[in-house]
Structure 1
Amino acid sequence: MKKIYTALLFSLGITVASYARTEKGAFLDANLPTEQRVADLLSRMTVEEKVGQLLCPLGWEMYEITGPKSVEVSQKFKDLIQQTGAGMLWATYRADPWTRKTLDNGLTPEQAARAGNAIQKYVIENTRFGIPVFLAEEAPHGHMAIGTTVFPTGLGMAATWNPELMHTVGEIIGREVRSQGGHISYGPVLDLSRDPRWSRVEETFGEDPLLAGRMGGAMVGGLGGGDLSKPNSTIATLKHFLAYAV
């Protein structure tokens, strides 16, 4: 539970205290125990604000590229924050046919970092408590974004039978996600593939639970185990829902 509290408040320190628009309190004091800060913050929030922190809308429409080195938040993001106070975005940096983000209109790694900074700056300066948002990124076999490293799919990685190599893969993914401003990585995929008719077989480590567990555990270890105090660590989201593959 303490790790969850720490994740919620990982960036609520002196920097946030200088930006928060209207609220001051113990939750901004980084010298106080995490539990005390969380209790103080929750006591000040309305039910609507708490619900807003649980929302995770699609993120790739929340920025606008205004120049080679200039990225700003979109009006859609401003409206989202003012209407819902959303606490998280998913796949802000993602580029693929679904998002319609390409090499022409998507974010380079440098632009992605600028987008993340713009998003956090807006939230900190334009909300009552100045709570930064979590940025979650799709990363089952590499960060799904422009300019990042693409590793083999799950089946390909499983064929190495090499947990040490998977640990290194996790380290690289964590470094690339965090360097652009992300905090949460969606992956590894731990579904067991027992039916070839399922359309997502290639995402898995195969049908063996021991192999999937060893390889998945090694990747999570490389991702840093969710300790955001480490510069290259992410919070790993194990995929997918229980029994999804069957």
Structure 2
Amino acid sequence: MRLADKSVVITGAGSGVGRASALLFAAEGARVVCADVRADWAAETVELVTKNGGTALAHHCDVTVESDVEAAVAAATRNFGRLDVMFNNAGVTGLKPGSTFELDTTEDFERLTTINVRGVFYGCKHAVRTFKAQGGGGVIVNTGSIAGMVGFGSVIYGATKAAINQLTRGVAIECAADDIRCNAICPGTMPLTNFIRVGDGPPPEEYLRMAAGLQPNGRYVTAEDCAAAALFLASDDARNVTGVLLPVDGGYVAR
């Protein structure tokens, strides 16, 4: 029960890493606000959590709207008494098969930067405000990416994740004296989540083999892998870990 009685907000909790994290965090004792722009997806996650004996509530949240993010944090304090962990997970790739950097449009750039960077900025900002008002510190976990650590293609996406990675380190240093920790998970290729999946239905076997082949250990990354890493960073097991970008990538960035 590594998050026993902790109050947690997870953005993008309606699918993928967010849903896997909501399930795992709740199983570890957390009370979870499942925030997502898709209210139906968030409700499905809450149903899964409660079926497994956990505590969660759904909250509509568009992370590009500051008042929505502020309201998600307020939902945690209102329903669970305080905020202990903010997991800024929501994001998009803007993946367009066959496209290249010079074909990206202003609209592509604005969508990626608005959702990925602004959303994490708002989440960190309102978590820090709440932690300082409460006293006693707090934890922020962000979803960065190895695409923000090395050249990985998908140039604008990588640039937004680099911004998140740097935001993570900056918040960690600025807020360390207030016992507020801030870290990021940096996933590799996740072919089983709708984050990068192309088309409907399960991905073809050759796509899975390609994704696995990108990692030196020969295994693609799952949402559950990322949730386990986020759980560690959110828990007191990592009480002396802050400002860390934790790759979940089978060794990709170590090459």
TM-score range, shorter chain: 0.3 to 0.5
Tell me the TM-score normalised to structure 1 length.
Answer: 0.38
Choose between structure 1 and 2 for higher RCO, CA contacts under 8 A separated by at least 6 residues: 2
Larger helix proportion of the pair: 2
| Rg (Cα) greater in structure | 1
